[in-house]
């Protein structure tokens, strides 16, 4: 499989993970909503709202990926790849506001106005069912992340990857699993102690988890949204190419900007041998561009400036 095919496969896998998570959450919303009605649990209601927000988030991510696939035009000469980052940031905001803040509000309300939980069997059954579904979705995310991380550690990859869509889905799913565990514990403690304030604290705990994940996602996506440099592998590849080309005597500078999960803008200034004519320089640059794109197909825009002078800072 060539590199372009691999990049297309990554895009397809990203969409598949989003669709998978969306379908899982639709089923979970229905089951959690029914259980919240049957038990009167605040933690269960918080989880229902959380899963509803996740459904909206995944629809936004799919929309963002569709926007990012639009070709470049006069108004957006570098394409629409960064649309994914914008919608990923919006997902983080929705997770913070609709999911996290509502869960905290519901927890405070239930704590100040405690109501006994009942029909606990419905709640536990639905929560275990939801854990199975969310756990499977999270496991699928982890498998895909492990495929992409290469030699990086798992958490290092989470901090440095440009695949914001997959990171957002992983963040949502892992937060959902943790939230479900908190909801089960809160429901059980509340039921067996007869004190529904434990259920309210469960809702508060879910809110804290969601807000923490939302803040992490917002910080990571913000860096991409305002123009983060591409992976260092691109600079390393450029340096390798230059070492092999005797007509290039120095890499003066290299600037990269991530324009989307798999689209990079590269600007390079090189020092060339002084005996080259215009035709030789053109051929040199064309060969340099061809080799870099062959090795790093994510380099979609490449600008190379030749120079003959000693460079000073």
Nearest to 259 by CA among 293, 303, 304, 226: 226
Residue 29 host element (H or E): helix 3-39
Q: What is the CA radius of gyration of the chain?
A: 25
* Residue 14 pLDDT: 55
On the question of pLDDT at 15 being above 80, the answer is no
CB 148 within 8 A of CB 157: yes
Rounded to 5 degrees, φ, ψ at 172 are -65, -50
pLDDT band at 185 (very low <50, low <70, confident <90, very high): very high
In percent, the amount of the chain with pLDDT more than 90 equals 24
| Sequence-separated (6 or more) residues with CB below 8 Å from residue 285 | 304, 306
Nearest to 17 by CA among 139, 155, 181: 139
* Residue 3 pLDDT: 46
CB 154 within 8 A of CB 145: yes
| Sequence-separated (6 or more) residues with CB below 8 Å from residue 82 | 68, 224, 225, 259, 260
Fold of 232-307: Alpha-Beta Plaits (3.30.70)
* Residue 8 pLDDT: 47
On the question of pLDDT at 288 being above 90, the answer is yes
pLDDT band at 224 (very low <50, low <70, confident <90, very high): confident
Handedness of CA 146, 150, 154, 160 (dihedral sign): negative
Domains 3-225 and 232-307 share a fold: no
pLDDT band at 16 (very low <50, low <70, confident <90, very high): confident
User: Looking at the chain, which runs of residues are DSSP E strands?
Assistant: 248-260, 263-272, 299-307
Rounded Cα distance, 4 and 160, in Å: 22
pLDDT band at 5 (very low <50, low <70, confident <90, very high): very low
Handedness of CA 220, 162, 93, 42 (dihedral sign): negative
Per-residue pLDDT reduced to its tens digit, 70-120: 888 899 998 898 888 999 898 888 888 878 888 898 889 888 888 777 778
Q: What is the largest CA-CA distance in the chain?
A: 88
* Residue 19 pLDDT: 84
Terminal-residue alpha carbon distance, the chain: 43
Rounded Cα distance, 193 and 186, in Å: 11
CB 169 within 8 A of CB 59: no
pLDDT band at 234 (very low <50, low <70, confident <90, very high): very high
Per-residue pLDDT reduced to its tens digit, 21-68: 788 888 888 888 888 888 887 777 877 887 888 888 889 888 888 888
For residue 124, give both structure tokens.
């536990």
CB 212 within 8 A of CB 167: no
* Residue 299 pLDDT: 95
Q: Taking each helix axis from N to C terminus, what angle separates 3-39 and 164-193, rounded to the nearest 10 degrees?
A: 20
CB 184 within 8 A of CB 125: no
* Residue 309 pLDDT: 64
* Residue 9 pLDDT: 47
Instruction: State CA 83 to chain mean position distance.
Output: 13
On the question of pLDDT at 238 being above 80, the answer is yes
Parse the chain into domains and list their residue ranges. 3-225, 232-307
Residue 264 or residue 122, greater confidence:
264
For residue 182, give both structure tokens.
């908190």
pLDDT band at 310 (very low <50, low <70, confident <90, very high): low
Tell me, what DSSP letter sits at residue 152?
S
pLDDT band at 151 (very low <50, low <70, confident <90, very high): confident
Q: Does CATH place domain 3-225 in 3.30.565.60? A: no
Mean pLDDT value across the chain = 85
Min mean pLDDT across 29-43, 126-140, 203-217, 287-301 is at 29-43
Strand 263-272 versus strand 248-260 pairing type: antiparallel
This prediction has a pTM of 0.75
Q: Taking each helix axis from N to C terminus, what angle separates 42-68 and 3-39, rounded to the nearest 10 degrees?
A: 160
* Residue 32 pLDDT: 84
* Residue 274 pLDDT: 85
| Sequence-separated (6 or more) residues with CB below 8 Å from residue 236 | none
């Amino acid at each position: 499989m060539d590199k372009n095919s691999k990049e297309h496969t990554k895009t397809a896998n990203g969409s598949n993970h989003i669709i998978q998570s969306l379908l899982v959450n639709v089923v979970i919303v229905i089951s959690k909503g029914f259980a919240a009605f049957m038990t009167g649990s605040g933690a269960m209601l918080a989880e229902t709202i959380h899963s509803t927000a996740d459904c909206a988030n995944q629809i936004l991510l799919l929309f963002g990926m569709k926007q990012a696939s639009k070709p470049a035009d006069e108004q957006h000469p570098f394409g629409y790849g960064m649309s994914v980052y914008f919608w990923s940031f919006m997902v983080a905001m929705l997770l913070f506001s609709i999911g996290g803040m509502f869960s905290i509000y519901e927890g405070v309300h239930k704590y100040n106005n405690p109501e006994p939980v009942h029909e606990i069997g419905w709640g536990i059954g639905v929560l275990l069912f939801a854990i199975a579904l969310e756990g499977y979705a999270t496991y699928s995310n982890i498998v895909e992340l492990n495929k992409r991380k290469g030699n990086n550690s798992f958490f290092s990859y989470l901090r440095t990857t440009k695949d914001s869509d997959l990171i957002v889905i992983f963040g949502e799913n892992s937060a959902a699993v943790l939230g479900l565990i908190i909801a089960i514990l809160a429901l059980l403690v509340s039921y067996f102690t007869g004190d529904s304030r434990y259920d309210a604290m469960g809702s508060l705990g879910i809110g804290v988890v969601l807000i923490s994940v939302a803040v992490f996602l917002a910080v990571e996506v913000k860096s991409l949204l305002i123009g983060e440099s591409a992976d260092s592998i691109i600079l390393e590849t450029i340096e390798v190419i230059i070492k092999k080309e005797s007509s290039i005597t120095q890499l003066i500078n290299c600037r990269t900007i991530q324009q989307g999960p798999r689209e990079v803008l590269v600007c390079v200034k090189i020092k060339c041998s002084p005996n080259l004519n215009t035709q030789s320089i053109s051929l040199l640059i064309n060969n340099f561009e061809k080799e870099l794109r062959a090795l790093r197909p994510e380099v979609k825009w490449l600008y190379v400036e030749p120079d003959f002078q000693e460079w000073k800072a």
